[in-house]
Amino acid sequence: MYFHAESNDEKFEITVNESKLGWKVSLKKEGADWIHYEFTKDDYQYMDDTISFLFKNSSYLLDVTQHGVDYTVYTRGAFQTIKLYNEEKILHESLKAVGALGGSDSLSSEMPGKIVKVFVKAGDEIKRGSPLLIMEAMKMENEMRASQDGKVKEVHVKAGDTIESNTLLISFEKNAKK
């Protein structure tokens, strides 16, 4: 099986092959060479509540959660979310016309809270990292920033609004397909 992957804003190609005895996984970072790994089924084992992985003889205890194309891997107190697309998923994503791999055309709230301040209005051009609004939740003020360059299509909330989780906050103009 062949995947496109995105991790920490870096692009990779990954192939996975399973046999009775084990796994063959190959990685290629964009611009670099292929690196090949081989593991036995013993090396990558499922335990009661974790995965025990002996990777190059280093012992890791892992947990993985999946959400759409996002796979979040937890180990040793660290965690990384990796986007994985196989052919079927790439086709699916392009049909959704969200533009570049991993793009998103809206900002929604992850938890209930209160809007403290809104920095943008419809029509504003925004750069990746620029602040969009401040939301108060869990006793703290959280500044939400743009995850990529774009243009604000519509702002659905204003300062003082109390909102539930998964509330649409801001819509962005869809990016042109690359």
Partner 1 sequence: MFKKILIANRGEIAIRVMRACRTMGIQSVAVFSDADRNSMHVMLADEAYNIGPAPSLQSYLNIEKIIAVCKKAKVDAVHPGYGFLSESSDFANALEKAGIVFIGPTTDNIKAMGDKIASRDLMKKAGVPIVPGTPGSIKDVAEAEKWAKDIGYPIIIKASAGGGGKGIRVVHEPAELASAFRACQSEGLNYFKDDRVFIERFIQAPKHIEIQVFGDKHGNVCHLYERECSVQRRHQKLIEESPSPSVPPDVREKMGAVAVAAAKSINYLGAGTIEFIFDNNTKEFFFMEMNTRLQVEHPITEVVTGVDLVQEQIKVALGKPLSFKQSDIKQTGHAIELRICAEDPYTFIPSPGKIRRCRTPQGPFVRVDGYAYPGYEIPIHYDPMIAKLICWGHTREEAIARLQRSLTEFMLTGIKSNIILHRNILSHPTFLNGSYTTQFIEKEIVSEKMKKLFMFVDEHVFLVTAAIEAFKDSKSRDVAQYTVASRWKQFGRQKQMRT
Stretch that binds partner 1, among 82-90, 95-103, 155-163, 167-175 (CB under 8 A): 82-90
* CA 174 remoteness from chain centre: 18
| Residue 77 near partner 1 by CB under 8 A | yes
> For residue 170, what are the contacts with CB-CB under 8 A and spacing of at least 6?
106, 107, 120, 132, 133, 152, 154, 155, 156, 157
| Residue 142 near partner 1 by CB under 8 A | yes
User: In a 3-state reduction of DSSP, which class is residue 147?
Assistant: coil
Stretch that binds partner 1, among 61-69, 92-100, 119-127, 155-163 (CB under 8 A): 61-69
* Closest CB to partner 1 among residues 55, 96: 55
**Residue 98 CB, nearest approach to partner 1 (Å):** 19
Pair 109, 172: CB distance under 8 Å: no
**Alpha carbon of 46 to those of 36, 50, 64, 79, 130: distances in Å?**
22, 6, 11, 19, 42
Pair 126, 150: CB distance under 8 Å: yes
Structure tokens that stand for 18 in this block = 């399973």
CA distance 42 to 21: 9
Which residue of 11, 44, 161, 175 would you call a contact of partner 1, by CB under 8 A?
44
| Residue 116 near partner 1 by CB under 8 A | no
**Residue 114 CB, nearest approach to partner 1 (Å):** 12
| Residue 22 near partner 1 by CB under 8 A | no
Please report, as ranges, the residues that interact with partner 1 according to CB under 8 A: 1, 3, 5, 7-8, 12, 14, 16, 18, 23, 25, 27, 35, 37, 44, 49-51, 53, 55-56, 58, 60-66, 71, 73-80, 82, 84, 86, 88, 111-112, 137-144, 165
